[in-house]
Structure 1
Amino acid sequence: MAKILPFKAVRPIRAKAGLVASRPYEDYSAEELTAQLEHNPYSFLHIINPGYKFQQNLKGGQRFQMVKNRYLEFKEEGTFIRDKKPAYYIYKVKSRGSSISGIIAAASAEDYKEKVIRPHEDTIKDRELLFKDYLKTVGFNTEPVLLTYPDNQDINCIMREVMKSRPEYEFATPNRETHYLWVIDQPGLIEKIQKEFENTSQLYIADGHHRCASSYRLARESREANAGHTGEEPYNFFMSYLISESNLKIHEYSRLISSLNGHSKEEFLILLDENFRIENRGLEVYRPSHKHHFNMYLDGEYYSLYLRKTNYEFSDSLRKLDAYILYQKVLKPILGIEDLRNDKRIAYTHGRNDLIELKTRVDSGEFAVGFGMLPVSIEEIKEIADENLTMPPKTTYIEPKLRSGLTIYEF
């Protein structure tokens, strides 16, 4: 039974929502970041990059405190206001050819502990602790954890009806997306949505594993420090964006490797032949159409690689995963890459980028070979999570990617 609650969001006033909202910080080039900070005083980037005001590169606890200070300034100036009633928030992102809608709400940290909310990726303890300390200092959360749930016709019906009304926010962005936000604060609708999630046995983390784990650490630490703990305090929850499984967009990550680990091209192909049926496609761009098929770009030519299944045992959901097969049969034994997170010889490009990027980066000499595969399915994600297994790093690139600063959860 999932505990998904409405909350009183801190939000920008309607007139400034489009100016406040920002992409994730790491998505900006240095030039873009400078332009935003110089020319848009309302950008949320001023909060998450507080050192700009003093032309200082801040780190650690000092930066965390300055983030809080900038946030308080936005509230004091009236750019941010807090809703007077708890609400759910429908957030819709519309781009050319697609439209994705979900509900922003507060999810239970205890549900994460009890595996009602299930992960499929590993987290790094140091990152968990760092972000927990950040949350504790700033006292708010602005990047929701992306959770997915089985399609629910009752929730879909409520969302469709609400989205017939005028949205609280509607603004376009330079990447040709339009963003919408509706506020659901009617008690009857809130009760219906809450009950539907209570009848949901499992939710799955699609994106935001470290944010989820850090929020649980903060909840546990806050509970231990509070003698009057009830379980209903805001620190027991974290902001989430809940999206139905059919609405989720999952892309793959391609792998780029800087060298053949001392092998010649011919030696490399012979080593691959032990576990794959190889076909040289020449200049024909090859895209896999089945699981356990891979595309490879090497020395100006495309290849298709089909796993020889007689040489491989599919003993669990992880071993069925193409990213894991590529690691076990190519990256680790042939190319010598064991640490997928930290080895400098490997890089990743997500599937929203065309395969031409993979070709371009290999042709430039930056990389020696590139590999691609089909995206992971939601069924594979759920199987991995249900078996308490974890995917290799950079297995999924999941959309939507929300704008920061539109709803803020305080604790």
Structure 2
Amino acid sequence: MTTPSADSGAQAPSGGPGDPGHVATAGLSLSPFRGLRYRPDRVGNLAAVTSPPYDVVDPNRRLDLETADPHNIVRLILPRPEPDDSGDRPDRDTRYRHAARLLTDWQREGVLAADREAALYVYEQRTDGLLQRGLIGSLAVSGPEAGVVLPHEDVMPRPVADRVGLMRTTKANLEPLLLTYRGHGGAAQVIERAVTGEPLLTTTTTDGTHHRLWAVTDPAELAQVTRDLATCRALIADGHHRWAMYLRLQREHRHLPRSPWDRGMVLLVDTARYPLRVRAIHRVLYRLPIAEALAALGEHWQVKEVPGPLDHALQALADAKRQGGNAFLLTAGDSAFRLVSEPDEALLAATVPADKPEEWRHLDATVLHATLLDHIWRVPDSPDHIGYLHAAAAAEREAARTGGTAVLLHPVDESVVRRLAEQGVTMPRKSTSFGPKPATGLVLRSLELG
């Protein structure tokens, strides 16, 4: 079998029974599905029932979302225990059953309703002068050995198990993964034609992002998308743990013919037309005070105080990165910042695994985990010791709250991410944050609808 290319590849086989627009392919196989969507007449405001992806919702934001509307999607993606559970530490199954019950209740009450026809959904986001358009559909799940969907980050068993339990119990894809690809123009033409029509929904979320959604149901349009994707492969931009969830649940149900578990809901964005932003994900070391962190560096690193506020300090980090080499910004949330850079090459050679490409060995995330966290600071990679935050300001606040150390990183270029992924090399988990991320709650996929 010829491995499909991000830009071109061998012609995929066509034909076969099944849903409209679905044929067997050697590349990406995106099928329409009957979307489960909020009925505007049953909720006060569509924006009030949406949420960011589950892994970027902090505790305060979670409470705000829950109180914004009793049907906010966060109640499904981050469910509370069953109201009648009296245990001090309710198990995960209780939370998953609560989410499943809510999902069933909301459908019975007409808060959520399935579209009559299976569709691919054109999804548009506008924010801060950035326009992003892509296709939401049901993607054939394949492991890394197929070379069709490329992960670029490692995953941890605990978050995967959590998502598996939730999807297994609710029997639904509650939020789309974000995948990028580079197409040949056919799918883009379908998207551009769709956005000239009346959207299914329009809403603006509290962050100022404008969202619109259209349905593509015409068989000829669906076939055009299929042909365009047939020799493409995708990079997972956001959703590695949920992709691992798809793979595990597919294996669990492999005895079922034409199983709905063989597919998972994704948003595919052609980054040749709509480049994504890539941001860093920062670390907070809860149990490591900054004085101890700095003292442990010894003579192996250059440490320089840089002036605040945060924006100025991040600019100093960016300037250091332009000069080459590894660099990090440390703060205790006290408006003081230290630029840590120029590591001793002998130290890197002794602590960074040598069995990976040179480009991987010099990634900031690689050096942070292999050299600083594992070797110098000896900080376990567990939720009790390390927090992962997408916003530098949030990391700064969390360090101040806990008395720990925030380690702020500079983002890596998408070209580096894609180059390593195409070699089958994954980066340390939480190395990148691609965006804008799709809002959760605009369309769901129930496996019980097929």
Does the alignment reach a TM-score above 0.5? yes
* SS, match of residue 333 in structure 1: helix
Is 2:327 the counterpart of 1:294? yes
| CA–CA separation in structure 1 for the residues paired with 2:150 and 2:172 | 23
Is 2:384 the counterpart of 1:353? no
Q: Which residue does the alignment assign to 2:107? A: 75
| CA–CA separation in structure 1 for the residues paired with 2:55 and 2:407 | 25
Q: Which residue does the alignment assign to 1:188? A: 220
1:390: Cα distance to partner?
A: 2.5
Segment drifting more, 43-52 vs 286-295: 43-52
Does the 8 A contact of 2:48 with 2:68 survive in 1? no
Is 2:193 the counterpart of 1:161? yes
| CA–CA separation in structure 2 for the residues paired with 1:302 and 1:70 | 47
1:210: Cα distance to partner?
A: 1.9
| CA–CA separation in structure 2 for the residues paired with 1:88 and 1:99 | 19
Is 2:33 the counterpart of 1:7? yes
Query: Given residue 139 of structure 1, which amino acid in structure 2 is its aligned partner?
Result: K
Does the 8 A contact of 1:234 with 1:410 survive in 2? no
| CA–CA separation in structure 2 for the residues paired with 1:310 and 1:333 | 13
Residue 399 (structure 1) aligned to one of 390, 414, 435 = 435
Q: Which residue does the alignment assign to 1:217? A: 248
* SS, match of residue 116 in structure 2: coil
| CA–CA separation in structure 2 for the residues paired with 1:70 and 1:243 | 31
1:293: Cα distance to partner?
A: 4.1
Equivalences for residues 103-114 of structure 1 within 5 A: 103-110=135-142, 114=146
1:10: Cα distance to partner?
A: 1.5
Q: Which residue does the alignment assign to 1:409? A: 445
Q: Which residue does the alignment assign to 2:381? A: 340
Q: Which residue does the alignment assign to 1:95? A: 127
Residue 252 (structure 1) aligned to one of 253, 275, 280 = 280
1:375: Cα distance to partner?
A: 0.9
Over 3 Å counting, the alpha-carbon distance change for 1:193 and 1:8 in structure 2 is same
| CA–CA separation in structure 2 for the residues paired with 1:167 and 1:178 | 13
Query: Given residue 326 of structure 1, which amino acid in structure 2 is its aligned partner?
Result: L
| CA–CA separation in structure 1 for the residues paired with 2:398 and 2:162 | 34
Query: Given residue 408 of structure 1, which amino acid in structure 2 is its aligned partner?
Result: L
Could you list the per-position Cα deviations for residues 217-259 of structure 1 after superposition, in whole angstroms to 9, with x for gaps in the alignment? 22222122x3xx2xx3322101111112352221012334453
1:272: Cα distance to partner?
A: 3.0
Over 3 Å counting, the alpha-carbon distance change for 1:393 and 1:340 in structure 2 is farther
| CA–CA separation in structure 1 for the residues paired with 2:382 and 2:172 | 29
Could you list the per-position Cα deviations for residues 120-140 of structure 1 after superposition, in whole angstroms to 9, with x for gaps in the alignment? 222334543443343232111
Q: Which residue does the alignment assign to 1:328? A: 370
Is 2:300 the counterpart of 1:272? yes
Could you list the per-position Cα deviations for residues 6-48 of structure 1 after superposition, in whole angstroms to 9, with x for gaps in the alignment? 2121122244444432334565565665565456233234445
| CA–CA separation in structure 2 for the residues paired with 1:212 and 1:12 | 25
Query: Given residue 44 of structure 1, which amino acid in structure 2 is its aligned partner?
Result: I
Over 3 Å counting, the alpha-carbon distance change for 1:147 and 1:30 in structure 2 is closer
Does the 8 A contact of 2:51 with 2:65 survive in 1? no
Over 3 Å counting, the alpha-carbon distance change for 1:320 and 1:47 in structure 2 is closer
* SS, match of residue 318 in structure 1: helix
* SS, match of residue 34 in structure 2: coil
Does the 8 A contact of 1:7 with 1:106 survive in 2? yes
Query: Given residue 379 of structure 1, which amino acid in structure 2 is its aligned partner?
Result: S
* TM-score relative to the length of structure 2: 0.76
| CA–CA separation in structure 2 for the residues paired with 1:371 and 1:50 | 30
1:116: Cα distance to partner?
A: 1.3
Over 3 Å counting, the alpha-carbon distance change for 1:43 and 1:262 in structure 2 is closer
| CA–CA separation in structure 1 for the residues paired with 2:63 and 2:55 | 13
* TM-score relative to the length of structure 1: 0.82
Over 3 Å counting, the alpha-carbon distance change for 1:20 and 1:203 in structure 2 is same
| CA–CA separation in structure 1 for the residues paired with 2:127 and 2:155 | 31
Q: Which residue does the alignment assign to 1:22? A: 51
1:287: Cα distance to partner?
A: 2.7
Segment drifting more, 300-309 vs 91-100: 300-309
Q: Which residue does the alignment assign to 1:367? A: 404
Over 3 Å counting, the alpha-carbon distance change for 1:297 and 1:135 in structure 2 is closer
1:83: Cα distance to partner?
A: 2.0
Over 3 Å counting, the alpha-carbon distance change for 1:190 and 1:127 in structure 2 is same
Could you list the per-position Cα deviations for residues 94-139 of structure 1 after superposition, in whole angstroms to 9, with x for gaps in the alignment? 2223232221111112355623112122233454344334323211
Question: Identity of counterpart residues, as a percentage?
Answer: 21
Segment drifting more, 297-306 vs 88-97: 297-306
Q: Which residue does the alignment assign to 1:243? A: 269
Does the 8 A contact of 2:253 with 2:259 survive in 1? no
1:303: Cα distance to partner?
A: 2.9
- Gapped runs of 5+ residues in structure 1? none
Query: Given residue 165 of structure 1, which amino acid in structure 2 is its aligned partner?
Result: G
